[in-house]
Amino acid sequence: MNRSSLMSFLSAVAVLLVGLLIGLVILLISNPERAFEAFNTMITFGFSSMRNFGDVLLHATPIILTGLSVAFAYKTGLFNIGAAGQFTVGAFVAVFISVQFTFLPPALRILVAIVGAAIAGALWGAIPGLLKAYRNVHEVISCIMTNYIAMFLTNYLIINHIFDQGRGTSLPLPTDSNLPSLGFENIFREPLGAIYRSSNVNLGIVIAILLAIAVYVILEKTSFGYELKACGFNKDAAKYAGINQNRNIVFSFMICGALAGIGGALTYMSGTGLSMSITDTLSQQGFTGISVAFLGLNHPIGIIFSGALVSYLSLGGTRMQPFGFSPEFVDIVVSIIIYFCAFVFLVKTAIETKLFGLGKKKEGGTTV
């Protein structure tokens, strides 16, 4: 392991341990008698059975994709805080196609729904991309606005096109519109008396992993990825080298939007019975993707593992309620642990400076 990889690993472990420690302290303040039991459940639940581990992979699927969306933008010098909106429009298009296009064969309908979600997310991502490229509007501002526009627009479209009056949500997806399980139900299961309970983990996790590999190849092995990163590292040098910066900004945001849109599609096509609600709250997966990206150090392969870790902690946190902790309190603890991971780059810099002595100046003014 080279020095850079070691520092990256140490910084990720450090922020995770500090986040866990802060979470434990909060548990102790709230209910010291049962804090350690609850904490132990949170950090062991995901591995307590194959079914639970399958659920970890299931819940990791969308946040791996939103993490990739954030990381791809970051690698190209942009900050995609609009993954929540891109996730939402992608989810709506996938649900709409799944519900309304029942004349298509199931396999083709699933493919069309995922592709449609990717296109919808890409087009939604193009909005802040175009504003950034041609009007120099900061992407954080435009992404925040498009997030809320996406939320209220999908609310309107759900009510007018795929609303279930009895449930107050979007219409349920037909069973044959759900992603195939690929036989995972025979692996990720646990005995319950004479029968087995299986996880709903499915093709989605395979798609997420393949897309992470594809993003890595694009960024590290292609001239297109080189151009994108060149614009992120130094836009003036990239322009001098003849790289079309405006085009690359738009393309970068479109790819980010497509990734997040697919994440939305896979969430509602997972076979868990989820339906889109009429809500005034932005999709949490889009913001969790920021922490997933930073904890994975914006490396596509690292994001697979950081997404699984964040999912592991979140799922374990939901099992603390029987120990006397309210759902809201559990959310606070898990959120502190997860979002503390966003400090990973700050910790990495501190490790570089303190542990390895990087950044210290000699008397002559040069750096070591």
pLDDT of residue 141: 95
Share of the chain above pLDDT 90, in %: 62
Strand runs (DSSP E) across 116-165, as ranges?
163-164
pLDDT confidence band for 19 (50 / 70 / 90): confident
120 inside domain: yes
pLDDT in tens, 236-290: 777 778 888 899 999 999 999 999 999 999 999 999 999 999 999 999 999 999 9
355, pLDDT greater than 70: no
Q: Establish if 163 belongs to a structural domain.
A: yes
pLDDT of residue 231: 83
Instruction: Give the range of the structural domain holding residue 290, as residue numbers without chain letter.
Output: 49-309
Domain membership of residue 9 (yes or no) is: no
Domain presence at residue 36: no
Task: Specify the pLDDT at position 2.
Answer: 65
Q: Which residue has the higher pLDDT, 66 or 25?
A: 66
pLDDT digits (tens, 9 = 90+) for 325-345: 876 776 777 777 777 766 777
Instruction: Give residue-wise pLDDT tens across range 178-203.
Output: 999 999 999 999 988 778 999 999 99
Mean pLDDT of the residues in the chain: 89
- Examine residue 343 and state whether it is found in any structural domain, yes or no: no
Cα–Cα distance for residue pair 264/314, rounded to 1 Å: 18
The letter for the amino acid at 118 is: A
Structure tokens at 297: 């150090």
- Structural domain tally of the chain? 1
Q: At 362, is the pLDDT very low, low, confident or very high (cuts 50, 70, 90)?
A: very low
Q: What share of the chain is helix, strand, coil (3-state, %, to 5)?
A: 75, 5, 25
How high is the pLDDT of residue 358?
54
Q: Is residue 91 part of a domain?
A: yes
Q: How far is it, in rounded angstroms, from Cα 191 to Cα 341?
A: 35
Domain for residue 136, yes or no? Answer: yes
pTM value? Answer: 0.91
CATH number of residue 232's parent domain: 1.10.3470
Q: Which tokens go with 158?
A: 């759900």
Q: Is 100 contained in some domain?
A: yes
